Copies of this chain bind each other. A is one copy, B any other.
Amino acid sequence: MVNAYASGAPTALPPESQELLRRRERVLGSPYRLFYREPVHLVRGSGAHLFDAQGNDYLDAYNNVPAVGHANPRVQAAVGEQLGVLNTHTRYLTDDVVDYAERLTGLFPAPLSQAIFACTGSEAVDLALRIARHRASAPGVIVTRNAYHGTTTAAAEISPSLGDGNPLPPYVALVDAPDSVRGAGPEAAEREFLAQISAAIERLTARGFGFAGMIVDSVLSSDGLRLEPAGFLTRAARLVRAAGGLTIADEVQPGFGRTGSWWGFQRHTADAPGFAPDLVVLGKPMGNGVPISAVIGSAEIFEAFGSEVRYFNTFGGSAASIAAAGAVLDEIAERRLLEHAARVGSILLSGLRDLAADSERRGRGPRIAEVRGAGLFLSVEYASDADGTPDPEAAVRMVDALRERRILVSASGTHENVLKIRPPLVFDDADAARFLDGFAEASAAR
């Protein structure tokens, strides 16, 4: 992880936080990482804000899980109440999981009409892979070069962003995300992307792995937020379909309104009425932090899998998680968070672009190659020269400089040179102003 605390490094944290850090390293151990050169010790959250024990207020511009806000009262009440009534699994007939499944599938185009619930995005990705591979009787899948899809064995196998300690099996083919900074324009980027898809299908088939399909984050989050040219994912999905594979839209990050639409894939289907991915994977913000995830698909695809391979997830779709998920939909609807994400996102996008232009004009601060955004998902790509040569050090320095100003973001991208800005959907105008001020300061400080 690019912006992690280096285990054992000195910090300026208060003594009680340092003691907690030592205890943590003893009992949680080596697989765990903390964010930031100087970790953050949190005790409380509210809306888009987090607080440490000294009462300092941190602006959360990173966490998409608490989409409807840290400590959201409606989610709290719904879960608290449900835990006093019933919280059991889906092998009994219960009302709430059916009500919610109808409500959720109602947000998707035909033929996406059924849901299977799990607990985490990783589990949902893993299940979607099982379904696609069962259908094809073949393991071959396509993913993007710096994709992250999760942490089970099968999900890690398709997550090249996990790095060298996590080698990929030969039945996983990589394609480069369209590069809007160093490429020859959007049309060329798409042509190149589609050519890679075709070549990958051919390669997997030639090597005897067969072709189960493609799984792709609808906004290519871990590849650095790749958005243009809108529609390229649908045209890639058509190639996948023609070769007999399924397209799995990983909506764990873009889903539930982040881009200003319900789902990230809608950005790519606007010009292709009636087109939908074959399977959709949902997670993170679905229960605002209460573990719940889902795979959405057609009755036909689920039937082919379910008639031969039953699926049961003990906690998946249990009543308390469903209560949280229902409260999230209520909040999104009543607070009009899709419109809100689009509006505040555009303030951030134009604000960041203005700061980038200003910084370039004055020749001050790190060089920004591009600012991208879709709703409340934004990225700032740093380059060391006019050719767009990736500058990961600039990105990490900005992450830490923002953290010093109590603004929380992270870095990602194939070259780790992209600032990842992905706040709770309730991030408001004052939060955006504070973010832009902090960003200007952090840029100038360097």
Taking beta carbons and an 8 Å cutoff, which residues of A are in contact with B? Answer: 1, 13, 17, 20-21, 23-24, 26-35, 39-45, 50, 63, 65-66, 70-71, 73, 75-76, 79-80, 83-95, 97-98, 101-102, 105, 113-116, 118-123, 126-127, 129-130, 151-154, 156, 162, 165-166, 283-284, 289-291, 299, 302-303, 305-316, 318, 320-321
Contacts and interface: CB of A to CB of B under 8 A. Distances in A.
A289 B121 contact: no
Contacts of A88: 42, 45, 50, 63, 65-66, 70, 289
A169 to B, nearest CB: 11
Query: Which A-B residue pairs are the 4 nearest by beta carbons?
Result: A30-B306, A80-B80, A31-B306, A153-B154
Given A63-B88, A120-B120, 9 more contacts: A29-B303, A30-B302, A30-B306, A50-B92, A65-B88, A70-B88, A80-B83, A130-B153, A291-B318
A446 to B, nearest CB: 24
A122 B313 contact: yes
A83 B76 contact: yes
B94 A42 contact: yes
B153 A31 contact: no
Contact of A92 (B34, B116, B127): B34
B87 A320 contact: no
Contact of A123 (B63, B114, B120, B290): B120
Contacts of A89: 63, 65
B85 A71 contact: yes
A302 B295 CA distance: 31
Given A83-B80, A120-B123, A152-B126, A92 B39 contact: yes
B94 A43 contact: yes
A90 B32 contact: yes
Given A126-B152, A315-B289, A91 B30 contact: no
B80 A119 contact: no
20 contacts: A24-B97, A24-B98, A28-B101, A32-B311, A40-B92, A40-B93, A42-B93, A42-B94, A43-B95, A45-B88, A65-B314, A70-B88, A71-B85, A75-B83, A76-B84, A152-B152, A152-B153, A165-B309, A283-B314, A291-B321
Given A29-B302, A73-B84, A152-B154, A93 B34 contact: yes
Contacts of A26: 113-114
A113 to B, nearest CB: 7
A28 to B, nearest CB: 6
Contacts of A20: 93, 95, 98
A155 to B, nearest CB: 8
Contacts of A13: 93
A308 B120 contact: no
Given A23-B102, A76-B83, A39 B154 contact: no
Task: With a 10 A CB-CB cut-off, give which of A43, A302, A303 has the most chain B CB atoms.
Answer: A43
A87 B101 contact: no
A93 B39 contact: yes
A310 B162 contact: yes
Contact of A86 (B70, B75, B284): B70
Given A83-B80, A95-B43, A119-B120, A154 B154 contact: yes
A178 B35 CA distance: 48
A351 B243 CA distance: 62
